[in-house]
């Protein structure tokens, strides 16, 4: 199987970003859901960048490691990952938006039920 890949030069090395297959997208969402359900949330993995997490980025770069890169270097990798995997990130953004709307609806319902 041939998939779309692109490279980015960061910190003197070449990192290859691969487009995820549908199976990989499904597996990644299951893995992310399992991490949050089990409370296994690494603050750095999930909090360092506002529009993605490092588990997702790591799944797109294969064997390359992220740990020796700085956040500004990772910005270049993330930008290329978003470009190569635009459908995945669009789906992710829509799911986050739906999650926010559900939370807002729950909060509004609780406010209605609580005595003033």
Nearest to 20, CA basis, from 12, 11, 29: 29
- The most distant pair of C-alpha atoms in the chain lies apart, rounded to whole Å, by 61
pLDDT of amino acid 27 = 93
pTM of this prediction exceeds 0.85: no
pLDDT of amino acid 116 = 66
Ranges of residues in the chain with a pLDDT under 70 are 1, 116
């Amino acid at each position: 199987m041939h998939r779309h890949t692109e490279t980015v030069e960061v910190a003197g090395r070449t990192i290859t970003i691969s487009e995820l297959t549908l199976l990989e997208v499904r597996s990644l969402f299951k893995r992310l859901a399992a991490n949050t359900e089990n409370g296994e949330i690494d603050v750095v993995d999930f909090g360092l960048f506002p529009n993605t997490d490092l588990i997702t980025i790591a799944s797109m770069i294969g064997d390359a490691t992220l740990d020796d890169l700085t956040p500004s270097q990772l910005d270049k990798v993330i930008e290329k990952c978003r470009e190569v995997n635009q459908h995945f990130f669009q789906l992710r953004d829509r799911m986050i938006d739906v999650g926010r709307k559900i939370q807002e609806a729950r909060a509004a319902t609780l406010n209605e039920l609580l005595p003033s």
